[in-house]
Amino acid sequence: MISAALDIQGERAHQQVGESSVVSTGSAQTISVTGTKALAPVTRRNPNRKKVLFVTSEIADLVKTGGLGDVSAALPRAMAQLHDVRVLIPGYPQVLHSENPIHIIGELGGHAALPPCKIGRMDMPDGLVIYVLICPELYEREGSPYGANNGRDWPDNHIRFARLGLAAADIAANLAQIHWCPDLVHAHDWPAGLAPAYMHWRGQRTPTLFTIHNLAYQGVTSLGSCPELGIPTHALQQDGMEFYGKMSFLKAGMAYSSHITTVSATYAQEITTPAFGCGLDGFLAAKTQQGLLSGIPNGIDESWDAATDPHLFCPFEIGDWEGKAVNAAHVRELFGLEDSEGPLFAVVSRLVYQKGLDLTEAVSEYIVESGGQIAIIGRGEPEEEQAMRELALRFPGQIGVRIGFNETDARRMFAGSDFLLMPSRYEPCGLSQMYAQRFGSLPVARNTGGLADTIENGVTGFLFDESTVESYQEALSRAFKVFAYPDLLNAMRCRAMAAPFNWCKAVEPYAELYEQLVAKALGKSHRQ
């Protein structure tokens, strides 16, 4: 439901109560928008906290393709006691047609080829405020946030996400007239990369933080898009958003933000090297030398508790390995696997090259011949999806595959599996390895990025160094040896389930950085 509202927690739309407008949904239907009465403002508990606009392309409550969605749902909530963090997200069908009412509170004009849009406000049951960018011609499409159901990107993504970046800049400049103006804008990954850029080009003084969740996805578009996006010519320089004769949204976010973070300390170091820098290693190394790049690891929310998670077939606690075995039996049934006394390996992953699925395919015969089974869930590149289907056909009853993603099934797989397979070629942070550990499933993972930072080799999981079948298989052999000694296996499970991954700790560096960036910006402003 979408309606117009006046003065929600100090926000005001231009519409008068009783006025009605129409929002096009991009399909044949239209949604009538009717004014409503004002809601009483809510008094802040901490007058010193900062107002932060959290700009993202997905949030797990409404639409999710990967870890960014989980972080976008968890981090603002974890921050609630410290700062006033509100989320800005495009109005995809999954957002507009959720069960949460949306009140129209503002509107923004167009710029270049970027169309005008409306700003809606969605209040989640737990108090999280989400601003919805309503622009039917750009966002109301069937598929994922980034592409159609065939796995291919939308050809106008540069316009779709430039519109998101500009909306963030407009809100920071108080052009939306929503009577809430952020002290800081926190933009996430390439879809939000133009938010710091537009703010810089306009001379806005509000500080910006840009977080890299995955350097490999850069939002590259041609230089010919400049007029469409209203990008000034001086931005097309090496210290701007120029990227090997094209333009990179990700580089724009890094070039023009006040500070850059990425999602683990190891990954922050890795991306300054040619092996992991995706062509930006020199640029990022310079940012590091300037003290403008840091690594802050992600956390996971409190719902990842095997004793209380309502998704699980059979909740269990540390030490209740019979309860975990019940979950394993359920997973085997779900994936059509035969009864087995051997270990159950899980793959819960986007099916893309980064995740090293070809390596898992190469070691699958070793796993099955050693008495193991594999359950695989995920979606992604059509070629990877087909490879997984063929793998299941090669090993009927021993390898099961479900193409797609279902939160309940995924959680049950973490709870029921003995080991999680994560042979990622690179992994900025990764969340699955933390989820798995919390549910007593030991990760077998590449020693890279956030995997290296969150798995204790031989204590809470198994790490291998090289992205090769040989290195991977050596780690798997250690996992099989541990499985043969139940006391050792259970001791490792206990350590893994007790690992301190909650956001309540992970959020503190962000909270401090927010305050530092605002203070620094105010200092600069006072000196000018």
What 3-state DSSP class applies to 402? strand
Distance CA 451, CA 438 (A): 14
The pLDDT assigned to 31 comes to: 35
pLDDT digits (tens, 9 = 90+) for 488-519: 999 999 999 999 898 888 899 999 999 999 99
Residue pair 348/420 in contact (Cβ under 8 Å)? The answer is yes
- The CATH number assigned to the domain with range 50-149+157-298+506-527 reads 3.40.50.2000
Containing 21, the helix (H) or strand (E) segment is: strand 20-24
pLDDT digits (tens, 9 = 90+) for 121-167: 999 999 999 999 999 999 999 999 999 987 789 999 999 999 999 99
The pLDDT assigned to 48 comes to: 67
Share of the chain residues as helix, strand and coil, in percent rounded to the nearest 5: 40, 20, 40
pLDDT digits (tens, 9 = 90+) for 433-491: 999 999 999 999 999 999 999 999 999 999 999 999 999 999 999 999 999 999 999 99
The yes-or-no verdict on residue 421 having pLDDT over 90 is: yes
The yes-or-no verdict on residue 46 having pLDDT over 90 is: no
The pLDDT assigned to 505 comes to: 80
Distance CA 261, CA 336 (A): 43
For the chain, the C-alpha Rg in angstroms (whole number) is 24
Mean pLDDT of the chain: 91
Q: Who has greater pLDDT, 290 or 528?
A: 290
Q: Which residues of 289-325 are buried (b: 16+ CB within 10 A; e: fewer)?
A: eeebbebbbbbbbeebebeebeebbbbbebeeeebbe
Containing 200, the helix (H) or strand (E) segment is: helix 194-202
The yes-or-no verdict on residue 34 having pLDDT over 60 is: no
Q: What percent of the chain has pLDDT over 70?
A: 90
- Residue range(s) in the chain whose domain bears CATH number 3.40.50.2000: 50-149+157-298+506-527, 321-501
Q: Which of 284-298, 307-321, 513-527 has the lowest mean pLDDT?
A: 513-527
The yes-or-no verdict on residue 526 having pLDDT over 70 is: no
Query: Per this entry, what is the length of the chain?
Result: 528
Nearest one of 511, 515, 519 to 79, comparing CA atoms? 511
CATH topology of domain 321-501: Rossmann fold (3.40.50)
Q: Tell me what the mean pLDDT of segment 63-83 comes to.
A: 94
The whole-model pTM stands at 0.87
Kindly state the tokens that stand for 429: 């942070």
| pLDDT tier for residue 318 given thresholds of 50, 70 and 90 | very high
Residue pair 243/231 in contact (Cβ under 8 Å)? The answer is no
The yes-or-no verdict on residue 13 having pLDDT over 90 is: no
pLDDT digits (tens, 9 = 90+) for 187-201: 999 999 999 999 999
The yes-or-no verdict on residue 223 having pLDDT over 50 is: yes
